[in-house]
Amino acid sequence: MNRINQKLQEDKKILSIYFSAGYPNLNDTVQIIQDLEKNGVDMIEIGLPFSDPLADGPTIQASSTQALHNGMTTQVLFDQLKDIRKTVNIPLVIMGYFNPMLQYGVEKFCATCAEIGIDGLIVPDLPVDVYADEYKAIFEKYGLKNIFLITPQTSDERIHFIDSVSDGFIYMVSSASVTGSSAGFGNTQEAYFQRIAQMNLKNPQVIGFGINNAETFQQATQFAKGAIIGSAFITYLKENGTSKIKEFVHTIRQ
């Protein structure tokens, strides 16, 4: 069974952390992953930096730009992760845009992910219908879960279609804005969370965008299986470096 599915079956709320590969420094990637797992994170999204990250807010864009300046590329990331399964057991997801996958070759990209132990991909600019028609068979051939995003504006019809072609979790964007732009959740978001929860989808939901502390983590996970923290963690890395990851995770899990 895929590690994502195994993790989702556990009787706990899932904490997933996103960071940009190659940030703050090019060779920090593996150490950050190991430290996150050691301190109780359930799943990690490894951001593959791209020069035109449409869904990312200024914090993640800045970290992605720095990572590119540091020398991060698709091949460098794969080289860094080639032995990751010798030390890390939790699910690992690569989040990136479709252009680098196309340049690398979609099947070659998926095959390399499977070889090094990546469990899933999040590709925000790959439409679900294009995926279903052209790429689903390739992802499934290599045992990769493709994670789709929904927003408060996504129609029920499209959500049900996404649910039908998914076999992992659905990434619930808490608002229609870019990452890092929210500060807590209001009635509108809570109504959205409740609406999705009442749809009885076959795939569990994990909420992202706007989760930055213990309060927002708990608020989000009242309605979903887990929550994803990205911008707040990257800001923490910028301010504290990689030596105090334990403290960050413990403030969320308190």
From 87, 14, 107, 91, select the one nearest 45 (Cα to Cα): 91
Residue 139, C-beta contacts closer than 8 angstroms, at least 6 positions apart = 110, 121, 131, 145, 146
Catalytic residue among 28, 45, 119, 163: 45
Q: Is residue 168 part of a domain?
A: yes
Q: Is residue 38 part of a domain?
A: yes
Catalytic residue among 56, 115, 125, 167: 56
Per-residue pLDDT for the chain (254 aa), expressed as one digit of tens each? 899 999 999 999 999 999 999 999 999 999 999 999 999 999 999 999 987 656 567 888 889 999 999 999 999 999 999 999 999 999 999 999 999 999 999 999 999 999 999 999 999 999 999 999 999 999 999 999 999 999 999 999 999 999 999 999 999 998 744 444 455 688 888 899 999 999 999 999 999 998 999 999 999 999 999 999 999 999 999 999 999 999 999 999 87
Q: Is residue 4 part of a domain?
A: no
Answer yes or no: are the C-beta atoms of 16 and 228 closer than 8 Å: yes
Structure tokens at 26: 């090019």
> What is the number of domains present in the chain?
1
Q: Is residue 7 part of a domain?
A: no
Helical packing angle, 231-240 and 58-70, nearest 10°: 60
Q: Is residue 3 part of a domain?
A: no
Q: Is residue 247 part of a domain?
A: yes
45 as an active site residue: the answer is yes
Answer yes or no: are the C-beta atoms of 135 and 98 closer than 8 Å: no
37 as an active site residue: the answer is no
DSSP state of 50: -
Q: Is residue 50 part of a domain?
A: yes
pTM of the model: 0.94
Report the CATH number at residue 43. Answer: 3.20.20.70
Domain that holds residue 25: 12-251
Distance in angstroms (rounded) separating the CA atoms of residues 134 and 141: 13
Residue 73, C-beta contacts closer than 8 angstroms, at least 6 positions apart = none
Please report, for residues 90, 93, 241, the alpha-carbon distance to residue 249 in angstroms, rounded to integers and kept in the order given: 15, 19, 14
Q: Is residue 2 part of a domain?
A: no
225: left (phi over 0), alpha (psi -120 to 50) or beta: alpha
